[in-house]
Amino acid sequence: MSNPFVRIVEPLDPKQPLKKFFNLSKLEDVRYAHLPFSIRVLLEAAIRNCDEFLVKKGDVENILNWQVLQHKNVEVPFKPARVILQDFTGVPAVVDFAAMRDAVKKLGGDPEKINPVCPADLVIDHSIQVDFNRRSDSLQKNQDLEFERNKERFEFLKWGSQAFKNMRIIPPGSGIIHQVNLEYLARVVMDQDDYYYPDSVVGTDSHTTMIDGLGVLGWGVGGIEAEAVMLGQPISMVLPEVVGYKLLGNPHPLVTSTDIVLTITKHLRQVGVVGKFVEFFGPGVAQLSIADRATIANMCPEYGATAAYFPVDDISIGYLIQTGRDKEKVMCTKKYLEAVGMLRDFKNSSQDPDFTQVVELDLHTVVPCCSGPKRPQDKVAVSDMKKDFETCLGAKQGFKGFQIAPDRHTSIVKFNFEGCDFELAHGSVVIAAITSCTNTSNPSVMLGAGLLAKKAVEAGLTVKPYIKTSLSPGSGVVTYYLRESGVMSYLSQLGFDVVGYGCMTCIGNSGPLPESVVEAITQGDLVAVGVLSGNRNFEGRVHPNTRANYLASPPLVIAYAIAGTIRIDFEKEPLGINASGRKIFLKDIWPTRNEIQAVERQFVIPGMFKEVYQKIETVNQSWNALNAPSDKLYTWNPKSTYIKSPPFFDGLTLALQTPKTIEDAYVLLSFGDSVTTDHISPAGNIARNSPAARYLTSRGLTPREFNSYGSRRGNDAVMARGTFANIRLVNKFIDKQGPQTVHFPSGETLDVFDAAERYKQAGHPLIVLAGKEYGAGSSRDWAAKGPFLLGVKAVLAESYERIHRSNLVGMGVIPLQYLPGQDAGTLGLTGRERYTIIIPEQLKPQMNVQIKLDTGKTFHAIMRFDTDVELTYFHNGGILNYMIRKMAS
């Protein structure tokens, strides 16, 4: 069928031949001007890639009736222009590809059909840990140890880059995936195959949304879904509602982009935007730099939206030039966007589109703040931090409570560190990390931290030596401008040396605390604190010994490190007293916005970006020296504890198996609200008494060699044992936190993996009960793969975070949702019943299914297969099985 949207246009670049682009705006239909800019990009991609979309969903009239269609569950096939991956999710993706090649060959197909058909960039940023800090050689020592631990994984990835076309690896030590995407990989407009079209991306990391700040539509997906996209399968999604977020006014001079995003996160969690797009508009947007917008878009998963889109404007175009992009290409980009009506002027209200809902924020009302102690959406004004923490100490165990007895609130434990005596108390800071692409991508907050450090050192302030301080920038550009501007040495004097270029503390790769500190925390059962400039602070994520973790801007991270405690009122209490006996308050050393902007204008220049990124793929000599096999099929090593052929495709045939009713399932675990993917499949350290540790020990490894769960995601035997292994897991069947459950046939309390194995050996299917926001957090596909391997056939929850629901669908695990107004409490469910889930022969998206209990009770739940395509995946036993059959047939 000929596509009515194709327009032949004059070349935007006179040096190039005639180009084509798809141009909805040329239909001369006034309704186009009312489409949200994010929907324009989404529909353009659907129309460009999928003629069947026009056939199936009607004519041009229907395409533009967004206001009607968004409420009718219209299915949109979205093919993004690119895919990005990081190594924790990238390794299992390449493992799956290697296993899929084997499976296609067994079924008589061409194994090389398993190959990315769109550009796929994999950035290695999740492996490095903060093993060394507060020393000039920390960076080199951490990188050396990273290669020592992960050499086998890195060799495997290098094999993948050679065995698969369209796959590029950005080596370790280059930076954090989303910052590299923002500063280097993103095109904004693609110029490929004789077409101009908007850049778009999905990534195997939930914070892929950071690129929305530059006007590139993108979001995180599970590795399973990303693999299908790389193989040419569109993402099947329901046309989303779009919440317009109107920004007004100017931020206060003391407010940072971190304060703004933490305020927005709390606000949008209250509004409720799960499964929706958020699009920013209003005159306040023009007051924000691209780095500010990227910070806001980065934390989109924390407020639950699918995307957090800032349309391209002149500031976006200026950023492309500032970061060293080719000027001629940038000018072509601008001309194209003007031609198709996608260049935004935020001060021109006549361009404001129609939204499903509009909410507002006056930027002038934002105050300096942090979030915590256990969730990103729990914003606390800095002026209230001391009081809020002290309230949390005694409050009931929960998101805002630690249930510490009142007589122990002032407990103090003395300890010795490097020959000196110190004290720890509830609220003592033991980790202070400037980390994460959320903030290190933003020169204003990084230079602000550097200038604050300079003033602090000059005022005679120091940071106690036992506090684990670190600086892990998202790209080499950050170190470049910190060094050139003269603030790097002051950061180092306060302990904030560069320890690596990667996610590090933000994802739990915080490394060990000093033994004497751990002993003091344990002895006093203290609520010790981590302060980090990251995007997540879920329980057990940052470090096992920091029960309270607060998200804060880089300058505030340094301020709390100097104070040594979260129990301080900066307005009334000094940060410290210098050698002259002078009290130094935070206001004495906080840099002004004018100071920061002056330094930024002078030192953040295009030449830095060009110099860093022109050698990004070759600068790491350790990576260059790696040898990898050149075979197209991977030769699995049965002795490997990192890379193992997964069992997902064992016994797969071309014939489909009819889905069957789940009969008499036991409940493996029963949860409350906000169970995260960190709870389901932790990424951090492997506890020495865990099933995964016992497995690795049986393979001859010592605890020093365990590495982390995240680094072991290429081995299903480790990851199955690590499922629900978070030490902060709260299971209603158990009266304490921990990765255990009740095996009901025997009545024994067992590790979750051991209980699941017992059920599996007896042939019993399993389900999981949960509350609201099940699967919040990271996009990790192992949070679905792991339960699948444990024998979990379905999850019954009050609501799901978007990516995790998609991952469950991708693995053939049924996501069930209580009917509105119902939950386990209203239905009287204890989790000790046995559940039969009736699967009818004829299935429809979002249909109600019957659930029968062995008690005789019957109720209904929504089967959250949201589209016909998702039902197709379910009939195939998952999305990867579907792709294998498609490639082999």
Give the Cα separation of 156 and 176 in Å (integer): 20
Give the Cα separation of 380 and 363 in Å (integer): 17
CATH number belonging to the domain at 662-681+723-888, selected among 3.40.1410.10, 1.20.140.10, 3.20.19.10, 3.40.50.720? 3.20.19.10
Reported as a single tens digit per residue, the pLDDT across 412-459 is 999 999 999 999 999 999 999 999 988 999 999 999 999 999 999 999
Of the listed ranges 153-157, 774-778, 877-881, the least confidently predicted one is 774-778
Q: pLDDT-derived band of residue 6, with 50, 70 and 90 as boundaries?
A: very low
Residues in the chain: 889
Which residues on neighbouring strands pair with residue 531, listed in sequence order? 432, 550
In a 13 Å sphere around the CA of 279, the CA atoms on its Cβ side amount to 28
Reported as a single tens digit per residue, the pLDDT across 597-647 is 999 999 999 999 999 999 998 889 999 999 988 899 999 999 999 999 999
Is residue 480 scored above 50 in pLDDT? yes
Percent of the chain with pLDDT over 70: 94
Backbone angles phi, psi at 858, to 5 degrees: -135, 140
pLDDT of res. 611:
94
Is residue 11 scored above 80 in pLDDT? no
- The 3-state DSSP composition of the chain as helix, strand, coil percent (nearest 5) reads 40, 20, 40
Percent of the chain with pLDDT over 90: 80
SS3 of residue 510 by DSSP: coil
Reported as a single tens digit per residue, the pLDDT across 501-513 is 999 999 889 999 9
Is residue 655 scored above 50 in pLDDT? yes
Backbone angles phi, psi at 3, to 5 degrees: -90, 120
Nearest alpha-carbon partner for 810 in 34, 72, 318, 93: 93
Give the Cα separation of 816 and 861 in Å (integer): 6
* CATH code given to domain 412-611: 3.30.499.10
The DSSP-derived string for 422-447 is EEEETTBEEEEEE-SHHHHT-HHHHH
Give the Cα separation of 817 and 768 in Å (integer): 12
| CATH topology identical between 82-365 and 662-681+723-888 | no
Is residue 884 scored above 70 in pLDDT? yes
Reported as a single tens digit per residue, the pLDDT across 811-851 is 999 999 999 999 999 999 999 999 999 999 999 999 999 99
Neighbours of 57 (CB within 10 A): 17
CATH class assigned to 82-365: alpha beta
Give the Cα separation of 859 and 874 in Å (integer): 23
pLDDT of res. 71:
61
E-assigned strands of 229-300?
Answer: 235-238, 242-248, 277-281
Is residue 122 scored above 90 in pLDDT? yes
Domain residue extents for the chain? 82-365, 412-611, 662-681+723-888
Reported as a single tens digit per residue, the pLDDT across 98-109 is 999 999 999 999
Of the listed ranges 46-50, 193-197, 559-563, 701-705, the least confidently predicted one is 46-50
pLDDT of res. 777:
78
Average pLDDT in the 263-284 region? Answer: 96
Is residue 49 scored above 80 in pLDDT? no
Is residue 172 scored above 60 in pLDDT? yes
Average pLDDT, the chain: 91
pLDDT of res. 16:
47
CB 576 within 8 A of CB 462: yes
pLDDT of res. 35:
86
Q: How far apart are the first and last CA of the chain?
A: 25
Is residue 23 scored above 80 in pLDDT? no
pLDDT of res. 803:
86
Place of tokens 């106690």: 464
Reported as a single tens digit per residue, the pLDDT across 331-380 is 989 988 988 889 999 999 999 999 999 999 999 999 999 999 999 999 99
Give the Cα separation of 749 and 122 in Å (integer): 41
Is residue 291 scored above 90 in pLDDT? yes
pLDDT of res. 368:
96
Q: At what angle do helices 257-271 and 443-458 cross, to 10 degrees?
A: 130
Average pLDDT in the 96-123 region? Answer: 94
The type of residue at 38 is S
The type of residue at 521 is I
Is residue 50 scored above 80 in pLDDT? no
Q: pLDDT-derived band of residue 61, with 50, 70 and 90 as boundaries?
A: very low
Is residue 288 scored above 80 in pLDDT? yes
pLDDT of res. 658:
87
Neighbours of 321 (CB within 10 A): 13
Reported as a single tens digit per residue, the pLDDT across 383-409 is 999 999 999 999 999 999 999 999 999
